[in-house]
Amino acid sequence: MNIDWSAEDLAFRDEVRAFIAAELTPELRRAGNSLTSVYADYAVGMGWQKILHAKGWAAPAWPEEFGGRGWSVSQRYIFATEMAAAGAPPVSPMGIGMCGPVLIGHGTPEQQAYFLPRMLNGDDFWCQGYSEPQSGSDLATLQMSAVEDGGDFVCTGHKLWTTHAHEANWIFCLVRTSREEIPQKGITFLLIDMTSPGVEVTPIVSLSGEHIQNHVFFTDVRVPKANAVGPVGQGWTVAKYLMQFERGGGVASPGMRARIAKAASILEAQFPDRDDAEGVSLRSQLAEAAVQVDALAAIELRVMSALSVGGAPGPESSILKTVGTELSQRLTEIALAAAGSYAGVYQPHMVSPGGPSPGFVPPPQRDGVGPDYSWTVAAKYLNDRAGSIYAGTNEIQRNIMAKAVLGL
């Protein structure tokens, strides 16, 4: 197998590098390299999205007729690799990465014509309304109701762990429009304007001290029936399609390679004596993680190949989600151990949190404690504890793999 890049691929790589060098501002680069969450905050993520949109690169995975690029698998992989290597901040996945593909695959022409351009240019910022207090991985038990009333649904319920709901002006929700013997039936995929009367957002502060997630309460919120995506009562099918993109529609390995390089530099700084027993152990763990990243990259390329010919990620998305999140957690553990006591200092003013840090008052001198490589590691570790839970717990993913991949 020849895995060398073609001349066309190398020319594309040079084009991406030139674009990044010209357009990725020092402020955005600094923010991307000092993220503590998988999400950039609204200002950082949207600032970079607008630059990408001006180039036509905001949604490289979308079909060209909807504003995408029509890039090959290798081009998309090169793009993700160069963005990660440069420290570019991530664009919020809720709109472009999740709701967008659903509208392309299941939306009406009217929904596509209205929402997709606004998603790309940043007029609409999206959040996801799936989890409820008693419905997490067992999402079919959700209780948020949507009762038909003329041309509207009247929605009442409570969603939680809703990322950036305090910034979003639209939310895509799973709601119950009827009660059936089989709980997966009677669920509808609904688009709701967050500025509607009856919508209330309250914060959830994470272990890292950041306000990224939220409660969202709906009290008699009127939503036009035209905002249902797919047939009423068949939202479970739409949701399963979306979850494949949430779990496996992106490319994680280039970013992990960048993190491995950063962890290696931490080890060199903290353990310059190559014979130090703790340093040797951590270097060994990091080498093992690097091998696992290479295996993850192979699965990602297979998924991207399916996407390039119009397919969905399929059950491999569960493999990517499980392997990717557990490997990411392992990298945070290695970095935390390498940083040692420096990681114990809480200093969100020196990094780029995924949201505000309520109650934190930065010191007047605004100086950091310890070397700069240690500033993000504790918050990354704490944030990443959720990785094996969100988008369906890894236990659920293993059930899916057992059934859909192994045929058990």
For 35, the 3-state DSSP assignment is: strand
124 token code pair: 């609409």
Query: Residue 335 burial (CB < 10 Å; 0-12/13-18/19+)?
Result: buried
What is the torsional sign of CA 321, 323, 326, 327?
Answer: negative
5 token code pair: 């890049």
Contact 92, 355 (CB under 8 A): no
Q: Which amino acid is residue 149, in one-letter code?
A: D
For 384, the 3-state DSSP assignment is: helix
State the catalytic residue, choosing from 82, 246, 300, 316.
246
Contact 170, 94 (CB under 8 A): no
Specify the residue for token string 């008693």: 134
Q: Torsion angle of alpha carbons 171, 253, 384, 86, nearest 10°?
A: -80
Name residues whose C-beta falls within 8 Å of residue 62's C-beta, 6 or more positions apart in sequence: 68, 69, 96, 100, 101, 104, 116
Residue 246 is among the residues annotated as catalytic for this protein = yes
Angle of the 277-308 helix axis to the 253-270 helix axis, nearest 10: 170
Distance, in Å, from the CA atom of 284 to the CA atom of 280, rounded to the nearest integer, reads 6
Nearest 5°: phi and psi at 371? Answer: -70, 150
Tell me which residues are annotated as active site. 246
